[in-house]
Amino acid sequence: MATTIDWFGGDAVNEIVPAESGNDDTLGFFGANFGFSIRVGEFNNTNFVTDDIGTTNFGQVPNLKWANTSGAYVASELTATELLEIDNSEATLRIRLQTDSDVGTQNAAFRAFDRVSIANAPSGVTVRGAEIIKPDPVRGSGDTFWTVIAGATDLPLQDKIPPSSIQTWYVGLTVSPDSIGEKTDLGFYFETEFL
Amino acid sequence: MTVAKKVTKDVEKDRWIASLSNGETIFEDQLKGTLGAWKRLGAYVKENKLAITNMRLRIGGRQVELPSHQEGYVIKGKMQSTGSWSRVCVCIGHVQGGKARIHEVSADGSSHTIIVDDPGEPFTIYRQDEEKSNG
């Protein structure tokens, strides 16, 4: 079965291209703009596709910034939006599985890890994730609350029952450094079963 | 329901192969725009009240053979990805007593075995022949 997966920003403008990315993922979280740091205890204001050490800008992806347990600041908005009201295109990531045959999926999950083992928590940073499911103006059906994700403590994603040759997941992410200094021991991992 | 009873142009080198209780051998094929081969086999087994008697997988030049005459057999795909790296596994296994023993096998030769709850239909194809109905 020819099966492929690709990762984009939620708006599908910029892709995380394997050739750019070294050993692990290339999603970088920054302060006011590319290269700007995030203060300890605060959250990301921007998100970019970047290299392993965050020095090259490969394009911006949508930003979600933690506002409270069930809400986020979308892009540069100053008023928080409920997670259930965030559009797919406003999510941090779009992960797309393509198969020859129409497939349904189960047991999909998303992890943040230290780039050594998917069982290990990322180092020096707290990551929160939420599944975003809001393809149209109707109120969404994804996660109501942020989940702290760290290694084996993952973010379960909903099963996709109707078979399709393209299945897509949208994930919102927000991070906060636990200490001063650049944090590169952070990668992301996705898995799903399909038939 | 259409299933591949011989190796055709739609049957790839890496494939599962199922022997049925009526003596037929079914090969995994890749037909676009229709249900996957495992789902079609599940429907075929039900329609004809059959059982899978033997199940094997050819992948990356290796063959994985499962024990014969089980309550059910499982196939599913598994995609793992970090964005920059990805791997597709074929998960093949058998079911006994509500538990599935599944081998996750990838084309690069790596594999490991897990025991999990029976994932149920459509991942599991249960025997539909007389042996089942007679208990």
The answer to whether the predicted template modeling score (pTM) of the entire model surpasses 0.80 is yes
- Asked if A187's CB is within 8 angstroms of B81's CB, the reply is no
Spell out which residues of chain A touch residue B100, defining contact as CB-CB under 8 Å: none
A26 pLDDT tier (thresholds 50, 70, 90)? confident
- Give the residue from A50, A64, A114 showing the smallest Cα distance to A93: A64
pLDDT tier at B34, thresholds 50, 70, 90: confident
Residues in B whose CB is inside 8 Å of some CB of A read 30-39, 75-86, 88, 91, 119, 122-123
State the average pLDDT over residues A20-47: 86
pLDDT at B77 over 70: yes
Residue B107 has pLDDT above 90, yes or no: no
Per-residue confidence (pLDDT) for residue A22, from 0 to 100 = 54
Among chain B residues, the shortest Cα distance to A191 is held by B80
Interface probe, candidates A1, A96, A99, chain B, greatest B C-beta count within 10 A: A1
What ipTM score was computed for the predicted complex, to two decimals?
A: 0.90
How does pLDDT run across A67-113, given as a tens digit for each residue? 999 999 999 999 999 999 999 999 999 999 999 888 999 999 999 99
Range A130-138 average pLDDT: 95
pLDDT for A27 beyond 50: yes
A28 by Cβ neighbours in 10 Å (0-12 / 13-18 / 19+) ranks as buried
The one-letter amino acid code at B45 reads: V
